[in-house]
Amino acid sequence: MAPDIFWFLPTSGDTRYLGTSDFGRAPTIDYMRQIAVTSENLGYDGLLIPTGASCLDPWVVASSLVPVTHRIKLLVALRTSLGGPGPSARQAATLDQALNGRLLLNVVPGGDATELEADGVFLKHDERYEAADEYLTIWRRLLQGETVDYEGKHFRINKGQVFHPAVQQPYPPLYFGGSSDAAHELAATHVDAYLTWGEPPAAVAQKIADVRARAARRGRTVRFGVRLHVIVRETGEEAWADADRLISKLTDDDIANAQKNYARMDSVGQRRMAALHGGRRDKLEIAPNLWAGVGLVRGGAGTSLVGDAATVAERLQEYVELGVDTFVLSGYPHLEESIRFAELVFPLLGKKAVTLRDRAQTGGAFDIRAARSAS
């Protein structure tokens, strides 16, 4: 079966060049709608709507897409460190009704402690995961129709209820990404799909094996996905030239300042991303076609698959063979890159081709390795 392919809404802004506001695009609701409608028409399965102090509010953005989308699923950030599980359960049920069962939730316990302190949250790393465990325990029970009494370290609920249920039962699916032991425990206990940032396949395999084993000890199964950027062109030479162009306006100070900022964070995943390149421009291809240039100045997912369509499809297939069934992708600028990726790579992954030419030539699924050898 073809993997699910999600795209990304750049709710903190979009650009052609990292590290500069030149050619930047403001994150307006109109632009988010343009990307969302384009992604739906191209055949993407979902959209990740991120969160953070520099982002538009993900729930408001998702609500703004209700009248302009009809099929694509929305993966919306669920901040377990901000607010209580009762109000957010009602929000989720209501938005799932508005979307007619197209809501997915991306659990986010923390990230940047400084940013959380600005929002009034002063929990340490492991405390945030303790709170997330309690939060999701309550949240899941509420959406399953229970009347909840709960007293824990972080939350106390007395006769909590959700009176108007979500369309999806027992609740909209929970996605989550994290690299620490506490994160893997949370994934094994609560979530439906575990997402990892795009590390080399061997490292991803280790994370999958660990989460899978922890979930099995609880009698649960978890699906797996990878969050990546992509730079796909008709030839590998074009793709690598555009990768270089994306970071061509970065100064050494830009990189040093960004890396200093990320180093103060308590995120294990962020430390793993930074370790892939060490802030050096000459150490960016960390595995075949896996390029860490985005992570020089961007927090979170910092790696891209770079190459011609057949090569990138083959690299994605390597993750599929590890047990991955979902990819959450992005590229700069997000509107144009969503079109380019769908046109060039969808037919190589067994998804419906975007162009009439590709539909006629492939008739559906495509042999990735044959395409690779032919190129």
Instruction: Round to whole Å and give the CA distance between 188 and 177.
Output: 11
How far, in Å, CA of 358 to CA of 363, rounded? 8
pLDDT per residue as tens, the chain (375 positions)? 899 999 999 999 999 999 876 668 999 999 999 999 999 999 999 999 999 888 999 999 999 999 999 999 999 999 999 989 999 999 999 999 999 999 999 999 987 888 888 999 899 989 999 999 999 999 999 999 999 999 999 999 999 999 999 999 999 999 999 889 999 999 999 999 999 989 999 999 999 999 999 999 999 999 999 999 999 999 999 999 999 999 999 888 888 887 777 677 666 766 676 667 776 777 899 899 999 989 888 777 889 999 999 999 999 999 999 999 999 999 999 999 999 999 999 999 999 999 866 666 544 443 334 333 433
DSSP character at residue 25: B
**Largest Cα span, the chain:** 64
d(CA 2, CA 353): 12
Predicted confidence at residue 370, as pLDDT, reads 39
Closest to 107 measured CA to CA, from 140, 144, 148: 140
Q: Which residues lie across from 194 on neighbouring strands? A: 176, 224
**What is the three-class DSSP state of 165?**
coil
Residues 286/279, Cβ–Cβ less than 8 Å:
no
If DSSP codes are grouped into helix, strand and coil, which group holds residue 243?
helix
**Six token digits for residue 14:** 């979009």
Helices (H), 120-246: 125-143, 181-190, 201-217, 236-246
What is the C-alpha radius of gyration for the chain, rounded to an integer number of angstroms? Answer: 20
Model pLDDT, residue 253: 84
Q: Which residues contact 69 (CB under 8 A, 6 or more apart)?
A: 36, 37, 40, 102
What are the structural domains, with CATH classification, of the chain?
A: 4-374 (3.20.20.30)
Asked if residues 165 and 103 have their Cβ atoms less than 8 Å apart, the reply is: no
Q: Tokens for 147?
A: 């009347």
Please report which residue ranges of the chain form alpha helices under DSSP H. Answer: 29-42, 58-65, 85-98, 113-118, 125-143, 181-190, 201-217, 236-246, 252-263, 268-277, 309-320, 334-345, 356-362, 368-374
Name the pTM for this structure. 0.91
Looking at this protein, which amino acid is placed at residue 237? E
Written as six digits, the tokens of 165 are 């249920």
Angstrom distances, CA of residue 341 to CA of 24, 34, 338: 21, 17, 5
Spatial CA neighbour of 13 closest among 330, 367, 368: 330
CA atoms within 13 A on the CB side of 303: 27
| Amino acid 358: pLDDT | 65
The answer to whether 210 and 184 are in contact (CB under 8 A) is yes
pLDDT recorded at residue 17: 92
Locate 234 and state its tokens.
């008709």
Q: Are strands 285-287 and 46-49 parallel, antiparallel or unpaired?
A: unpaired
Q: Is residue 98 classed as helix, strand or coil in its secondary structure?
A: helix
At 373 the pLDDT is: 41
Question: Rounded CA gap, 250 and 295, in Å?
Answer: 12
User: Cis omega before residue 87 (within 30°)?
Assistant: no
Helix axes 334-345, 309-320, angle to 10 degrees: 80
Please list, in sequence order, all residues whose beta carbon lies within 8 angstroms of the beta carbon of residue 302, skipping any fewer than 6 positions away: 197, 273, 274, 276, 277, 292, 294, 295, 296
Bridge-based pairing state of the strands 103-108 and 73-79: parallel
